[in-house]
Structure 1
């Protein structure tokens, strides 16, 4: 009988990203005469500017990100003359393709047995993340202005609140509009968060509480200033979703590890962009009416590619395109023809933009088995 696959996807993804980033950091130190060992380290955003590229060559590189760039990631950078970055993106694509094929192949061999489904899903999603990130990074590096679209914040507010409205289109349920309040509290490396979704045209409520510890990266103003926007964070969360009018509820406890890498570490043309990956597992408890609780496991890997908006002053923020594998939210899993319907998670696009030190907006759209749109007013008391 074949042996179940091991959960090597997340570890391999971290090694792939770090391996691609390390040579870039070494190259920056070599090319920059102001960064000897005795000098203060230079942030990736402060690296020397890239040589000027003619409009014709940039147009050719942009076309290369599509053909053959959709299959050979890094083609755009190769045509742009950034061969080192091109090779690193190609390596990330190879790692992602290998993990994806390995995960899907394992699914074909072992099926959806509960004993092996966790490593299969984590490996496949991780591979798809590396593949998608390398593709989008190639296009960003070719099209972004010199110096990138923006720079990361190196400190985060101690208190951030949000109040918004959301619309959910799901033909299975009666709810449509929601009131969505939330708050983040930060003390050095610790974050406590709470949020709620309250339906305005149905009896449906989703409450969520989070506690997170950030090992590295931007934190509260009283924590050490970070070098860039990269971070590594461990989070525990508790969610209770009550479908009162439909007479059932879902309670979830989960733990996850998430990280972000500023892609300036991979190549100078990628300044202003970032990649995120995360892996987690949860336990769900369902209850229908007065029946006893029923348990189920929940796998919650995710990945994202994003870019910072604005270098200094305001407006300033970030936007990211992401994939969430979790199925317990309003967007849930994707519908598609065939046996795979409902297996993948959902896609989303989120933008967080501040118009001043105190006020900002959060816009988020998701597409899965349902469509979700949210717009929230952000406030940082004291600026």
Structure 2
């Protein structure tokens, strides 16, 4: 860590000297050099691209984010190892590991975005949420362990001031399989139907119920969960980061598996989430994410080779894009990779959003 700090200091001093030596040079002329620096050595020392661009304050913040993330990742893994992943401590150390990994990766992606994204093409978030948003679409799920493949997806997201009610259902078209979810939540900070926000940042708490029936395999799963989740518009950390955002979330769940010929079996569920993305135009967005959830279709990541020791422990990764071509109508597409592949798209309708 000391060597990392000395390297960052040297880069910052060099960038500051270069900016003072040629103050008349427009920053856009240094963007190619900054983009290269954001990769080498920027993937190791996050914020390097901004140091070279002359945005030293933003570079400091990204480097600090990397340091906090690395410390959280190392501390979480060390805690799991020392405690033997005991049930008493696995949840706390697991969430610390997920949050640390998220901050570490997000700081690198944000550095790249800040030096590569053209100033005139950066998007803006919604500042007032729609009262209602509905979804109707199709998903394809490839899992060699199950018969299902195609699903009809339906969902509603209804908001009254800071409150949210959001039922969602997945129905298999070629198998006896159905996943029903219902969430209620409250938004403390951020865009709401009754209140315009200054940016897209928010902080939510959600509680949910879930029932998933595997009719062909003759078992079902029922559970409840609580999760906190937040988004930070990265423009708050620096002007070159305008148009990008990051998300973090965590929580816990309780589940009961019912086998049709056998007694029920209980289980706990660790929920963790981090994402990074950027806005397109006004109110549209693209993100990449990690979801630690293990009870959905993508579930846990399968690892080969030496990594097979931890196969199934990590969650799944995905990418999602949402685009509204009118004020009310839009589409969303999503792809996930874990122990199964999940992908598809939905038609969206909303009412009440303000850009």
Once residues 59 and 117 of structure 1 are traced to their aligned partners in structure 2, the CA distance between those partners, rounded to angstroms, is 44
Query: What is the CA distance between 1:119 and its match in structure 2?
Result: 1.2
Q: Does 1:176 align with 2:149?
A: yes
Once residues 382 and 186 of structure 1 are traced to their aligned partners in structure 2, the CA distance between those partners, rounded to angstroms, is 10
Partner of 1:211: 184
**Equivalent of 1:65, from 33, 38, 52?**
38
Give the secondary-structure state (helix, strand or coil) at the position aligned to 1:245: coil
**1:82-126 alpha-carbon deviations (Å, 9 max, x no partner):** 111001000000000011011111222211211111111011001
Structure with the higher fraction of residues in helix conformation? 2
Partner of 2:130: 157
TM-score, normalised to structure 1, is 0.83
Partner of 2:13: none
Query: What is the CA distance between 1:359 and its match in structure 2?
Result: 0.7
**Structure 2 CA distance for partners of 1:247 and 1:230, relative to 1, 3 Å:** same
Q: Which ranges in structure 1 are unaligned for 5 or more consecutive residues?
A: 1-50
Partner of 1:291: 262
Q: Does 1:322 align with 2:289?
A: yes
Partner of 1:38: none
Partner of 1:189: 162
Query: What is the CA distance between 1:53 and its match in structure 2?
Result: 2.1
CA contact (8 A) 1:196 1:205 kept: yes
Deviates more, 1:256-265 or 1:283-292: 283-292
Query: What is the CA distance between 1:54 and its match in structure 2?
Result: 3.4
Once residues 328 and 382 of structure 1 are traced to their aligned partners in structure 2, the CA distance between those partners, rounded to angstroms, is 33
**Equivalent of 1:360, from 330, 333, 352?**
330
Query: What is the CA distance between 1:382 and its match in structure 2?
Result: 7.3
Partner of 1:87: 60
Partner of 1:265: 236
Partner of 1:9: none
Query: What is the CA distance between 1:374 and its match in structure 2?
Result: 1.9
Give the secondary-structure state (helix, strand or coil) at the position aligned to 2:61: helix
CA contact (8 A) 2:129 2:352 kept: no
Q: Which ranges in structure 2 are unaligned for 5 or more consecutive residues?
A: 1-24
CA contact (8 A) 1:148 1:273 kept: no
Once residues 359 and 382 of structure 1 are traced to their aligned partners in structure 2, the CA distance between those partners, rounded to angstroms, is 12
CA contact (8 A) 1:148 1:271 kept: no
Q: Does 1:146 align with 2:146?
A: no
Partner of 2:4: none
**Equivalent of 2:310, from 326, 337, 340?**
340
Query: What is the CA distance between 1:293 and its match in structure 2?
Result: 1.5
Once residues 292 and 189 of structure 1 are traced to their aligned partners in structure 2, the CA distance between those partners, rounded to angstroms, is 40
**Equivalent of 2:224, from 253, 270, 278?**
253
Once residues 81 and 153 of structure 2 are traced to their aligned partners in structure 1, the CA distance between those partners, rounded to angstroms, is 41
Partner of 1:117: 90
Partner of 2:343: 373
CA contact (8 A) 2:123 2:278 kept: yes
Aligned pairs, how many? 326
Deviates more, 1:153-162 or 1:140-149: 140-149
CA contact (8 A) 1:147 1:272 kept: no
**1:320-348 alpha-carbon deviations (Å, 9 max, x no partner):** 11110010010000010321110000001
Partner of 2:10: none
CA contact (8 A) 2:131 2:352 kept: no
Once residues 76 and 317 of structure 2 are traced to their aligned partners in structure 1, the CA distance between those partners, rounded to angstroms, is 20
What are the residue-to-residue correspondences of 1:236-247 with 2, within 5 Å? 236-247=207-218
Partner of 1:43: none
Once residues 299 and 26 of structure 2 are traced to their aligned partners in structure 1, the CA distance between those partners, rounded to angstroms, is 45
Partner of 1:229: 200
CA-based RMSD of the aligned residues comes to 1.3
Partner of 1:44: none
Partner of 2:108: 135
Q: Does 1:331 align with 2:289?
A: no
Partner of 2:17: none
